[in-house]
Structure 1
Amino acid sequence: MAWIYLGIAAAFEVTFALSMKYSEGFTRPVPTVVTIIAVIGGITFLTLAMKTLPVSVAYPIWTAVGALGTVALGAALLGESLSLLKVASVAAIAVGVAGLKVSTL
């Protein structure tokens, strides 16, 4: 169940990052409220995941999956560029996350 909680926490993390961008400096009410809810949701589910998972695994995976999702959706929704260096960097993050997952088996 901890891995499911961690996945939900990561989805909230991506939502948080994107809604913060859409809030335009917290000047738009709806994206601002979504940002606040996403922060609370992300921390809540991360805390639930860490009841079982070690912090040295859960927190880095949470941040990494959040970063990967934000890069992908930033390109898809916001038209941000995906340079070769950015894609290689995201791939390095993905390899690190896989290594953390394997270390818990």
Structure 2
Amino acid sequence: MAWIVLLVSGILEAVWATALGRSAGFTRLTPTVVFAVALVLSMIGLAVAMRSIPTGTAYAVWVGIGASLTVAYAMITGAETASLLRIALIVGLVGCVIGLKLAH
């Protein structure tokens, strides 16, 4: 169950990171509210997952999920350029996250 909570928290990290970028320095209400709610829920989930998963592993997996989804979303929407190298590096990051789970 802790791993599912951690996965959802990592997804919420991508949500708040994307919303933060769209908030224009907290001047746009909707992205600011999405940022705040997703941030709080993501942190709560990370804290709950850390009850069962070692801190270093939980944090690395959380960041890896959030970072890879944030970049993937930005490339899909055209906010960032996609390249084979960038995609390969994201796949490598996801592979490392999976490796951390399997090694736990």
TM range (shorter): over 0.9
State the Cα RMSD in Å: 1.2
Per-residue CA deviations over 1:16-36 (Å, capped at 9, x if unaligned) read 111011111111011111111
Q: Following TM superposition, by how much is the alpha carbon of 1:77 offset from its aligned partner in structure 2, in angstroms?
A: 2.6
User: Alignment identity in percent?
Assistant: 37
Q: Distance in 1 between matches of 2:55 and 2:41?
A: 18
Structure 1 residue aligned with 2:71: 71
Structure 1 residue aligned with 2:8: 8
Q: How many residues align?
A: 104
Aligned partner of residue 43 in structure 2, secondary structure: helix
Q: Distance in 2 between matches of 1:17 and 1:102?
A: 27
Aligned partner of residue 74 in structure 1, secondary structure: helix
Q: Following TM superposition, by how much is the alpha carbon of 1:89 offset from its aligned partner in structure 2, in angstroms?
A: 1.5
**Structure 1 runs not aligned, ≥5 long:** none
Report runs of 4+ in structure 1 exceeding 6 Å deviation. Answer: none
TM-score where L is the length of structure 1: 0.91
**Structure 2 runs not aligned, ≥5 long:** none
Per-residue CA deviations over 1:40-92 (Å, capped at 9, x if unaligned) read 11110000001001112111000000011111111223442112221121122
TM-score where L is the length of structure 2: 0.92
Structure 2 residue aligned with 1:49: 49
